[in-house]
Amino acid sequence: MSTPHDPHAAELHRLVSLMTGDEKHSAAATSTLDVVRVLYERVLDVSPSTAGDRTRDRFLLSKGHGPMAYYAVLVDQGFFPESWLADWATYDSPLGYHPDRNLVPGVEISSGSLGHGFPLAVGTALGLRAQGIASRVVVLVGDAELDEGSNHEATELAAALGLDALTVVVVDNRSTSYAVPGRIAARFEVEGWDTVTVDGRDHDLLEKALSHRGIGRPNAVIATVEEKS
């Protein structure tokens, strides 16, 4: 499932295993892994040493569910120690089933309730623009998360205000009830977003799609992965 000749993948899977407790993870645990890896390894300008800078790029994990891949990448990038992973979701751990920005270094928003991160990302992009900061804001949503109407409010306003700092990446594992093929991309396109659909496991395609910054138009990347089983 990972890009061939990627020895680093084994290391990330080892980190995920510290939380899932098994060698072969469920697809839900790793549906976002390649997208989040590519963002931190190839796209975003943010690191532990710049995590407090006003001009850093921001990644917002909107859905918050299945954060194991996110935590593994943050450990791999040096945001917090690997030793935190083993006892995650215990009473005194900073790591919950949904990430908390006030507890976990490098986490931009506290999420878990669906439909909040995308609107927060729109506000973040507006706040950066108002301050003349050119940083990018990338927000990850799930395809089922788009059921929430608040996302559609965000889709419309981001295009209307031309928020080209904003990228939404939809990790589509076809987990929504009442799916309509092609609906997600069509929704973004009709609102005026630059929109592309890519293989959510192909690192080079993801890098190209996630690095795109349009002119006066926000960017939507639909990253398709294996169907949720």
Should residue 216 be labelled a site residue for other proteins when binding is judged by CB under 8 A? no
Minimum distance, C-beta of residue 166 to other proteins, in the bound complex (Å): 10
Instruction: For the segment 131-170, give every residue that binds other proteins (CB under 8 A).
Output: 131, 133, 149-150, 153-154, 156-157, 160-161
Residue whose C-alpha is closest to residue 226's, from 184, 172, 154, 182: 172
Strands 166-172 and 219-224 come out as: parallel
User: Which residue lies nearer to other proteins by CB, 119 or 214?
Assistant: 119
Q: How many residues bind other proteins (CB under 8 A)?
A: 32
Please name which of 145, 53, 67 lies closest in space to residue 100, comparing C-alpha atoms: 67
Residues 90-119 that bind other proteins (CB under 8 A): 100-102, 108-110, 113, 115-116, 119
Q: Interacting stretch for other proteins, rule CB under 8 A, among 11-19, 71-79, 122-130, 185-193?
A: 122-130
Measured CA distances, 205 to 6, 34, 50, 165, 223 (Å): 15, 11, 27, 20, 10
Residue number with CB closer to other proteins (83 or 102): 102
Question: Cα separations (Å) of 19 from 71, 87, 96, 108, 145?
Answer: 9, 8, 11, 21, 24
Q: Least Å distance between CB 216 and other proteins? A: 14
Query: What distance lies between CA 183 and its chain's CA centroid?
Result: 20
Among 52, 86, 91, smallest CA distance to 72 is for 86
CB closer to other proteins, 134 vs 179: 134
Closest CA to 169 of 215, 131, 133, 205: 205
In order, the DSSP letters of 80-109 are: S-GGGTTTTTSTT-S--SS--TTTSTT---
| Phi (first) and psi of residue 170, to 5 degrees | -100, 110
- 123/182 with CB nearer other proteins: 123
Q: Which is nearer to other proteins, 130 or 215 (CB)?
A: 130
Shortest CB 192 distance to other proteins, Å = 15
Asked if residue 120 binds other proteins (CB under 8 A), the reply is: yes
- Decide whether 3 or 93 has the Cβ nearer to other proteins: 93
Residue 50 binds other proteins (CB under 8 A):
no
* Residue numbers at the binding site for other proteins (CB under 8 A): 54, 100-102, 108-110, 113, 115-116, 119-131, 133, 149-150, 153-154, 156-157, 160-161
